[in-house]
Chains A and B, each alone.
Chain A
Amino acid sequence: MKFAVGMVTGAAIAGLFPGLVAAQTSPETLPAVRIVVNSPLDGPIQPDGALTLREAIAIANDTLALDDLSVPEQAQIEPLAAGEASTIVFNLPPEETTIYLTAVLPDLAAPGLVVDGTTQPGYGATRPDLPEIPVPVVSLTPAPGREVFRGFTVSGPGVTVRGFSLYGFWSRDRATKTTPPADIFIASAPPPADSSPDAPPIEFFNLEDPEIAPQQVVIEQNWLGVKPDGTTPAQRSAFGVSIFNSVGAQVRNNLIQNHEGSGVITGYRATGLALVGNAIIGNGVAGIPDAVRLEGDVTEATILNNLICANDGSGIFLFKPEGGTLIQGNDIRFNGRRFERAAVYVMGAGHQILANDIGYQPGPGVAVAAAAPSDRTLIRDNRFTQLQGLSIDLVTQNNASIQDFQRGDGPNPPRNSRQRRRDTANGAINAPSFDRYVFDRGGDTVRLVGKADPGSEVDLYRVVEDAGVYSPLAEPMMTVPTAADGTFEAVWDDPAGGWVSAIATNPEYGTSEPSPVIQILGTDGTSPDRPSPAPYLATCLADAEPEAPAPPRAVTPDPIRLRIPRNIHFALDRSDISPESAAILDQIAAALLDYPSLVVELHGHTDPRASVAYNQALSERRAIAARDYLVRRGVAPERLRIVPLGESQRRSQGNSRLDFARDRRVEFIFTDTQGLNILFEDLETDLQLE
């Protein structure tokens, strides 16, 4: 007996304060059992014909006595040898593999508990574009009409959650939001959704003691926020994995998609987090927009080999974290669908951003904050493609405006005072500067000479795009040291010419911004052309490697001829899609599916009435609504970008109801990523007068 007050009271306490179970239960005393869930039903715990997941968790937590179950249910429970960890496996009837939850499940509190969805017969099929993450069979989602704000709540050490599809976990607003809803929430003391007479005492949230935090939790091979058939659920989940308070959690090989907020978000502590091999796609559509948002203590967190694509804000955003992280080998593409943020935004000290592919971002590649002291950020061996900003942007002079906390501030002037070391990210390390903008060929090789901060190493990158003076660092070429006076020298031995930019790294300060691009003439006195923009295909999953630039087309291809409207219209002060607009959106979706090389910017507009700020938000809601419709029609989110323009660009000049009706629109700006021309025809069938 673990509770001095008795089992009934203990269960009641567990119901009220789920985390108390973890706090009061000593791990040694839990009997190890193997539990087979064979009922997809959910409801109150009661002796009946089959064992539900809720009952299984209660048994594993030892908050439910075997005697309270029926005999057939007890038959699903098999004791294991002492020292083994409890396991919950599944044997649901085929075609009934979705568990509709009626309430939040009990915490997974038993140490070492393994909840294994891969045990369900039929598991193992994979999708061709997602080979590492098999399609789950067992799904968990709230029952229709029920609000369940968390899928699995993990509060015990060593718990493993494997092979589930979790979606639709969300909560309605009260006076404020609730505490964070999530598909999987990891904390020793998960807070209740809202204030109630049962709210636990403040002492309950012992966040400071790392011993209490769940250790070594493993979340793997789950599909979070997406149905097993790959579609977006009607109600999106709020967050994917919320690592609120945990030590050494491992989140690996999950598909984390379609969340309203971040796909992965940390709270108070996520030390030693290992975020490995996940596909984090299309998150942040109606909330915090960043795919991976790290806050709190993230000492030694590693983010390795993830695909982070088509999210609404940054791919990875570190907001005032403690401790340094390692961000390596990730493919961070097509983010910033709604906010023009940096692909990776960094605050704090000692982060390493190595060997990532970062591209297709309406912002800089890596931005490092100044105002929240940030230094020793090493940014090396990354490959950047198609950015609207610098590859590496160090915020300078304590800039702290909204832009500086999302996007950066552009190229920095050289350090002109030692005070810059304190008010600029990465200790204001100077970008290298070459002696010339164009290096002529003197012989077989070209000596590229320049100057950087003494004591730093200079990484030279090949540049292939033409995006102005500062173009994305496409490919690391070589690293050369600096002499004592800061001069460096590299040898270019390619007979062809090229374009080169460089960054300097000093471990004491971090990595610098890139130098302006220099041109190297080939033996024939020319340099290769830099296409602007290079053709590409906007897709997250089709192939994980960024494809080589397509060869130039031999013949001039026919332009794409689109016989579709490019506007949808809205009712006054509304952002919902009317049936007429839906018909237009269906045409647009069909065109997008027909021509995979098309990408679209959705420009939201309003009529000029009401305040600028209100209209700005309204235009964003309209663009989001249109995008949501297209995504549900199967258009990949990486091809859609939201640009809310408010009342700034009216369609009409006048002030009649018809003019205003024309103003209330979302415009679709099609672009062909392969450089084809598009011919359009205008239609206007869905005007909605007041």
Chain B
Amino acid sequence: MLEHSLFVRLGRFFFLRDRRFRRVFLRASFRFFSFLIVSFVLTGFLSQIGDFYYPFQPQPAIAQVSVDNQAGGSFTDAAGNPGAVTSNTTTIATAGSAGLTIIKTADRAAVEPGDVVVYRLLVRNTSTRPISPITLEDRLPLGVRYVENSFTAAPLRIRSSRINGRTFTLEFGNATLNPGDSFTVAYAALITPDAVRGNGRNVAQASAPGVISTATFRLTIRPGILADCGTIVGRVFVDKNFDGEQQSGEPGVPNAVVFMDDGNRIVTDVDGLFSIANVISGNRVGTLDLSSLPGYTLAPNLYRLSDNSQSRLVRLEPGGLARMNFAVTPAFGEGQEQ
């Protein structure tokens, strides 16, 4: 962030009207950037000096060499003669490009609650000037907690660290980062269950006087053991002893179709097995599509009345596993009406 200051001397008359002032302002020539007036300060009529500033951000991607700036003002004297003054020209060297770059990575892309993730920050001086002092600021995602005393930095050494909630600030004292040099900071963070509610995105910022650079990194946060989804496994097989369970000698039926209550369609494999991951927990119902297995139909179960049904109801716990077996037997009497 730079501040330009524009000094306007108003001559004998300390009479300044807003309108003229605006004219003064508008005649200032701003090149290369759209200006943004944040505020202006008029130090006082008696001082006859108006002092106002506007901030701007250098545009790091543009390979410019310098930013020239000049302001001008006009006035009308007591005799009614117009006059004009121009300021000196200020020139800001852009030092090649932005001074600092920062890259943030982690040792994994996806985490579950309970995991420890190691973040690594790489700060590089890409300018042609030494940079000092450097401050690093990092804001961790929701539910990700810094592991104490895990900061390591090389080759620069951390002089002070402040942790404020999810934000910490590292300072490196008077250490200087020479052009082209870089240093790394690594630290560990614990994924707490709260992380599931957040977006896993954090922002690190390296700053030095006159330069600032940010980097973001996003962790994919999986619910892990806190998932409320479960898994359903099952099989479709030819039942020989009518107990609804598959024993040896009871082959699986390939290409049988099972429909879930949410419309999912699952096809059994060569061995008659199927599985469904990430099933929302609760009472789930699956049903065998009999038209998918011409020649077979549901087998009677001589022992469990509840299995004498085309559908299976399972109560799936969050993160749990439920079984949905369909016993079939060679069909007869298909397609009869009444």
**Chain A hits for B294, CB < 8 A:** 289, 339
Docked complex Cα distance between A372 and B251 (Å): 10
Residue of chain B at shortest CB distance from A201: B303
Q: Is the CB of A261 within 8 A of B300?
A: no
**Chain B hits for A287, CB < 8 A:** 295, 297, 330-334
**Chain A hits for B240, CB < 8 A:** 205, 207, 244, 267-268, 296
Q: Is the CB of A238 within 8 A of B332?
A: yes
Q: Which of B304-338 contact A (CB under 8 A)?
A: 304-305, 308-310, 329-337
Cβ-based interface call for A400 (8 A): yes
Main secondary structure of the interface of A (DSSP, over half): loop
Q: Is the CB of A371 within 8 A of B330?
A: no
Docked complex Cα distance between A550 and B300 (Å): 51
Cβ-based interface call for A239 (8 A): yes
Residue of chain B at shortest CB distance from A398: B270
Distance (whole angstroms) from the CB of A576 to the closest CB of chain B: 6
Q: Which of A328-345 contact B (CB under 8 A)?
A: 339
Cβ-based interface call for A185 (8 A): no
Q: Which of A146-180 contact B (CB under 8 A)?
A: 170-180
Residue of chain A at shortest CB distance from B298: A176
**Chain A hits for B333, CB < 8 A:** 170-173, 177, 238, 260, 286-287
**Interface readout for A184-209 with B: 1 if CB under 8 Å, 0 if not?**
00000001111100011010010110
Cβ-based interface call for B146 (8 A): no
Selected from A286, A574, A621, the residue in CB contact (under 8 A) with B332 is A286
Residue of chain A at shortest CB distance from B295: A288
**Interface readout for A284-324 with B: 1 if CB under 8 Å, 0 if not?**
00111110010111000000000000000100000110100
Q: Is the CB of B300 within 8 A of A286?
A: no
Given contact pairs A199-B302, A199-B303, A287-B295, A191 touches B242 in the complex (Cβ within 8 A) = yes
Q: Is the CB of A371 within 8 A of B332?
A: no
Cβ-based interface call for A575 (8 A): yes
Docked complex Cα distance between A372 and B270 (Å): 7
Docked complex Cα distance between A195 and B243 (Å): 10
Considering only CB atoms and an 8 Å cut-off, how many residues of chain A contact the other chain? 64
Q: Is the CB of A624 within 8 A of B238?
A: no
Docked complex Cα distance between A265 and B295 (Å): 12
**Chain B hits for A176, CB < 8 A:** 297-301, 308-310
Docked complex Cα distance between A296 and B298 (Å): 18
**Chain B hits for A339, CB < 8 A:** 294
Docked complex Cα distance between A195 and B302 (Å): 4
**Chain B hits for A260, CB < 8 A:** 332-334
Given contact pairs A400-B254, A617-B335, A293 touches B270 in the complex (Cβ within 8 A) = no
**Chain A hits for B336, CB < 8 A:** 286
Cβ-based interface call for B241 (8 A): yes
**Chain B hits for A194, CB < 8 A:** 300, 302, 308
**Interface readout for A558-585 with B: 1 if CB under 8 Å, 0 if not?**
0000000000000000111000000000
Residue of chain A at shortest CB distance from B305: A195
Residue of chain A at shortest CB distance from B241: A205
| Residue among B254, B297, B332 with most chain A CB within 10 A | B332
Given contact pairs A195-B302, A261-B332, A613 touches B251 in the complex (Cβ within 8 A) = no
Cβ-based interface call for B75 (8 A): no
Inter-chain CB contacts under 8 Å: number: 140
Q: Which of B131-155 contact A (CB under 8 A)?
A: none
Distance (whole angstroms) from the CB of B41 to the closest CB of chain A: 75
Cβ-based interface call for A381 (8 A): no
Distance (whole angstroms) from the CB of B253 to the closest CB of chain A: 9
Docked complex Cα distance between A320 and B331 (Å): 17
Cβ-based interface call for B171 (8 A): no
Cβ-based interface call for A181 (8 A): yes
Q: Is the CB of A400 within 8 A of B332?
A: no
Main secondary structure of the interface of B (DSSP, over half): loop
Docked complex Cα distance between A177 and B242 (Å): 11
Docked complex Cα distance between A195 and B294 (Å): 24
Cβ-based interface call for B81 (8 A): no
Cβ-based interface call for A402 (8 A): yes
Cβ-based interface call for A262 (8 A): yes
Docked complex Cα distance between A101 and B19 (Å): 115
Cβ-based interface call for A405 (8 A): yes
Docked complex Cα distance between A289 and B297 (Å): 13
Residue of chain B at shortest CB distance from A575: B337
Docked complex Cα distance between A175 and B301 (Å): 10
Cβ-based interface call for B89 (8 A): no
**Chain B hits for A289, CB < 8 A:** 294-295
**Chain B hits for A173, CB < 8 A:** 333
Cβ-based interface call for A107 (8 A): no
Q: Is the CB of B302 within 8 A of A177?
A: no
Q: Is the CB of B249 within 8 A of A268?
A: yes
**Interface readout for B154-198 with A: 1 if CB under 8 Å, 0 if not?**
000000000000000000000000000000000000000000000
Cβ-based interface call for B291 (8 A): yes
Docked complex Cα distance between A617 and B329 (Å): 20
Cβ-based interface call for B269 (8 A): yes
Q: Is the CB of B251 within 8 A of A320?
A: yes
**Interface readout for B226-254 with A: 1 if CB under 8 Å, 0 if not?**
00000000000010111100000101001
Cβ-based interface call for A620 (8 A): yes
Q: Is the CB of A371 within 8 A of B242?
A: no
Q: Is the CB of A295 within 8 A of B251?
A: yes
Given contact pairs A176-B308, A295-B238, A313-B295, A195 touches B332 in the complex (Cβ within 8 A) = no
| Residue among A177, A178, A195 with most chain B CB within 10 A | A177
Cβ-based interface call for A656 (8 A): no
Docked complex Cα distance between A461 and B302 (Å): 52
Docked complex Cα distance between A193 and B302 (Å): 9
Given contact pairs A174-B300, A339-B294, A179 touches B329 in the complex (Cβ within 8 A) = yes
Distance (whole angstroms) from the CB of B290 to the closest CB of chain A: 10
Q: Is the CB of B254 within 8 A of A405?
A: yes
Given contact pairs A286-B332, A286-B334, A290-B295, A174 touches B255 in the complex (Cβ within 8 A) = no
**Chain A hits for B295, CB < 8 A:** 287-290, 313
Cβ-based interface call for B296 (8 A): yes
**Chain B hits for A617, CB < 8 A:** 291, 335
Residue of chain A at shortest CB distance from B240: A268
Residue of chain B at shortest CB distance from A614: B291
Given contact pairs A192-B302, A195-B302, A371-B254, A174 touches B249 in the complex (Cβ within 8 A) = no
Given contact pairs A176-B309, A268-B240, A195 touches B330 in the complex (Cβ within 8 A) = no
**Chain B hits for A417, CB < 8 A:** none
**Chain B hits for A313, CB < 8 A:** 295
Q: Which of A470-498 contact B (CB under 8 A)?
A: none
Given contact pairs A202-B243, A405-B255, A400 touches B270 in the complex (Cβ within 8 A) = yes
Q: Is the CB of A179 within 8 A of B242?
A: yes
Docked complex Cα distance between A192 and B302 (Å): 8
**Chain A hits for B297, CB < 8 A:** 176-177, 287
Cβ-based interface call for A401 (8 A): yes
Residue of chain A at shortest CB distance from B270: A371
Residue of chain A at shortest CB distance from B238: A295
Distance (whole angstroms) from the CB of B303 to the closest CB of chain A: 6
Tell me the A residues contacting B by CB distance below 8 Å.
170-181, 191-195, 199-200, 202, 205, 207-208, 238-239, 244, 259-262, 265, 267-269, 286-290, 293, 295-297, 313, 319-320, 322, 339, 371-372, 398, 400-402, 405, 574-576, 613, 616-617, 620-621, 624
Would you mind naming 11 contact pairs between A and B with Cβ atoms under 8 Å apart?
A175-B309, A177-B332, A177-B333, A179-B299, A207-B241, A261-B331, A288-B332, A297-B249, A371-B270, A398-B270, A575-B335
Tell me the B residues contacting A by CB distance below 8 Å.
238, 240-243, 249, 251, 254-255, 269-270, 291, 294-305, 308-310, 329-337
Given contacts A174-B300, A260-B334, 15 further A-B contacts (CB under 8 A): A172-B333, A176-B301, A176-B308, A176-B310, A177-B332, A192-B302, A193-B300, A194-B300, A195-B305, A199-B303, A205-B242, A207-B240, A260-B332, A287-B332, A616-B291
